[in-house]
A and B are shown apart, each in its own frame.
Chain A
């Protein structure tokens, strides 16, 4: 990588962040991947594209959203000041809308007639279905059968928005299998179809492109914290499945050496149980879904199933730039268990009147650990990536409550 004093110049021309990233896809897709890369590079250099993107973010998604000082949580923890970046206030209820607005504008620019996507918790699927309704493009969303069952309200939402939802029954029937089916569909319909990948993973240019569209999170946070506190935060943290809300928050802070950057993976039943979704903490480098990155895999290189209470984090891989940031030590990666996330979910609901997504609750669970040990004038910013309405029935079931 050619950067001298910056962590923000990657990837290189081949899409690599150190040894991570790349383009590991079937030949059928390569010409299209190269087209997407070219179209994205053209769009990046076209002020009109950025203007259109920013306009939709403002008028349609509702940005900028607040950087909220969580006074009661701060008081409860008795340490650092806790700020929440309110991505859950975006239209469709999560940070996912940022990226899909960018990608659908690119798909239109490329003249594509049909959209496909994969989804885990359904937040990305709902966001894609939404923009497809907005721009009148047919779309098909692949979702693991397990996730279809545990995220029924989001499935219904996608259908209301006019999307076709296909329940994927292969493999572990979760996000990774939905991504396999998405790639298969794309291989078969490469000529007219655009694949809107929901996270900072997949073949180059997706990790870079999704990151760029999500950087609005960190850019706004930076401006807002300067307004509120007159200085940068001491810690920024976010949950990580594939890692798109985290990368969006982290990237603008990468060159600010004073800022600790902490990603929180899903430890499921606990890393030591083997039932988790923590690719960085419990995996090793491998190649899947078009990129080299940390993966959960067995000794023979077979991909193993991820486990998390949160469908959105239930993925055996992670964006390649996160793998790179881990290896070079610029970001720290920790994990929170299902139980800790459930506790944070309830705490945030009761103390702040904000029901967070189970995904985001992992980041909040780590804030609960870290904030008390920090000084009262320290600042910690956590990304509240989505709202928890979709998780209410899952949480009720875990708490033994019948709805």
Chain B
């Protein structure tokens, strides 16, 4: 099977990267966890992200056992779950976002079990209807493509692949196979989210390695915490992904009972604006 025989995707991801190219700059991908710290506040942040300068939005689907994520994102997921977040409500959230925004690509990120439990076919249909453009599912390597990647490609939802510093040699074409689309997410460190950072030299080396194998845009994430750092990454990649640092901003603006303080949404969006300024140089 070749990529051409798949159903067309929503086109939003490609359109956004094409537009960025025309503007001559790299993009900012922002990550928040759905329902963190609660559904309404999370939705308000989500709706404010494009204006604050997010070019693409990743929404984490909370999971109890996020093996590849660090403490910040795990805590965000547990906050959301404690507030009653479910996969169905995450799809609702995307639907509500789409009511006001038709352009900004939305990518759902998470682990496979909640999707498997929901039912792959039902999930893909509802995700597509809600306005989801892409999926990143951390625990589905190409060896398990039959589970979700191929059905996703057929359903017209981009399946975005993670590559890492260990994705080298003959493994690169295995990972960057014909089913991967949208963009490539380069996890720039060996480790979990929100911990260490890669050096510019390491990222540069990885970019040339990846570009030899794919024409897809490449977004780089893990460990980006400041506007300057986002800029440095954006200088060599097609987009910089910021997750844990944004999630930390949410946490910093909770009161002692874990409830959102009045300034939370502004604080998060103002931090995203700073990052966007950084990326735009």
Q: Which A residues have a C-beta under 8 Å from some C-beta of B?
A: 14, 22-32, 170-171, 176-177, 180, 183-184, 187-191, 286-290, 292, 295, 297, 299-303
- Tell which of A30, A176, A188 touches B141, judged by Cβ atoms closer than 8 Å: A30
- Residues in chain B near residue A190, CB distance under 8 A: 166, 190
Complex Cα gap A177–B66 (Å): 10
Query: Given A187-B190, A188-B190, A28 and B64 touching (CB < 8 A)?
Result: no
Contact between B74 and A170 (Cβ–Cβ < 8 Å)?
yes
Contact between B192 and A184 (Cβ–Cβ < 8 Å)?
yes
Contact between A191 and B190 (Cβ–Cβ < 8 Å)?
yes
- CB closest residue in chain B, given A26: B68
Complex Cα gap A289–B88 (Å): 24
- CB closest residue in chain B, given A305: B64
Contact between A30 and B171 (Cβ–Cβ < 8 Å)?
yes
Contact between B187 and A27 (Cβ–Cβ < 8 Å)?
yes
- CB closest residue in chain A, given B115: A301
- Tell which of A32, A188, A302 touches B64, judged by Cβ atoms closer than 8 Å: A302
- Residues in chain A near residue B67, CB distance under 8 A: 25-26, 180, 183-184, 187, 289
Complex Cα gap A27–B190 (Å): 10
Complex Cα gap A302–B35 (Å): 15
Query: Given A187-B190, A301-B116, A302-B63, A28 and B68 touching (CB < 8 A)?
Result: yes
Query: Given A27-B164, A27-B187, A184-B192, A302 and B81 touching (CB < 8 A)?
Result: yes
Q: Is B130 an interface residue (CB 8 A)?
A: no
Query: Given A189-B190, A302-B81, A286 and B63 touching (CB < 8 A)?
Result: no
Q: Is B102 an interface residue (CB 8 A)?
A: no
- CB closest residue in chain A, given B86: A300
7 contacts between A and B (CB under 8 A): A28-B68, A30-B171, A171-B65, A180-B66, A286-B117, A289-B67, A300-B86
Q: Is B232 an interface residue (CB 8 A)?
A: no
- Residues in chain A near residue B144, CB distance under 8 A: 22-24
Q: Is B87 an interface residue (CB 8 A)?
A: yes
Complex Cα gap A399–B74 (Å): 38
Determine the interface band of chain B, counting residues with CB < 8 A from chain A.
35 or more
Chain B 99-117 interface mask (CB, 8 Å, partner A; 1/0): 0000000000001111111
Contact between B190 and A300 (Cβ–Cβ < 8 Å)?
no
- Tell which of B62, B117, B167 touches A27, judged by Cβ atoms closer than 8 Å: B167
Complex Cα gap A183–B192 (Å): 10
User: By CB atoms of chain A within 10 A, which of B66, B139, B140 has the most?
Assistant: B139
- Residues in chain B near residue A299, CB distance under 8 A: 117
Contact between A28 and B113 (Cβ–Cβ < 8 Å)?
no
Q: Is B143 an interface residue (CB 8 A)?
A: yes
Q: Is B10 an interface residue (CB 8 A)?
A: no
- Residues in chain B near residue A24, CB distance under 8 A: 112, 139-141, 144
Complex Cα gap A63–B26 (Å): 63
Contact between A287 and B65 (Cβ–Cβ < 8 Å)?
no
Contact between A27 and B163 (Cβ–Cβ < 8 Å)?
yes
Complex Cα gap A223–B226 (Å): 66
Contact between A300 and B65 (Cβ–Cβ < 8 Å)?
no
Q: Is B191 an interface residue (CB 8 A)?
A: yes
Contact between A287 and B113 (Cβ–Cβ < 8 Å)?
yes
- Residues in chain B near residue A301, CB distance under 8 A: 63, 87, 113-118
- CB closest residue in chain A, given B68: A26
- CB closest residue in chain B, given A22: B144
Complex Cα gap A109–B140 (Å): 29
- Residues in chain A near residue B114, CB distance under 8 A: 300-302
Closest 4 CB pairs of A and B: A301-B117, A301-B114, A188-B191, A26-B68
Contact between A27 and B175 (Cβ–Cβ < 8 Å)?
yes
Interface residues in B39-74 (C-beta closer than 8 Å to A)? 62-68, 70-71, 74
Contact between A27 and B64 (Cβ–Cβ < 8 Å)?
no
Contact between A32 and B65 (Cβ–Cβ < 8 Å)?
no
- Tell which of B65, B71, B165 touches A303, judged by Cβ atoms closer than 8 Å: B65
User: By CB atoms of chain A within 10 A, which of B63, B112, B143, B165 has the most?
Assistant: B143
- Residues in chain B near residue A302, CB distance under 8 A: 62-64, 81, 114
A145 → chain B closest CB, angstroms: 15
- CB closest residue in chain B, given A25: B139
Q: Is B269 an interface residue (CB 8 A)?
A: no
Query: Given A26-B68, A170-B71, A176-B65, A187 and B191 touching (CB < 8 A)?
Result: yes
A291 → chain B closest CB, angstroms: 10
Complex Cα gap A290–B164 (Å): 18
Query: Given A301-B115, A302-B114, A28 and B143 touching (CB < 8 A)?
Result: no
- CB closest residue in chain B, given A295: B113
- CB closest residue in chain A, given B88: A300
Complex Cα gap A300–B63 (Å): 10
Complex Cα gap A30–B71 (Å): 23
Q: Is B195 an interface residue (CB 8 A)?
A: yes
Contact between B64 and A26 (Cβ–Cβ < 8 Å)?
no
Q: A171-B65, A297-B113 are in contact. List 10 more A-B contacts (CB 8 A).
A: A25-B67, A27-B164, A28-B68, A28-B165, A28-B190, A31-B171, A286-B116, A286-B117, A301-B113, A301-B117
Complex Cα gap A300–B162 (Å): 25
Complex Cα gap A180–B63 (Å): 12
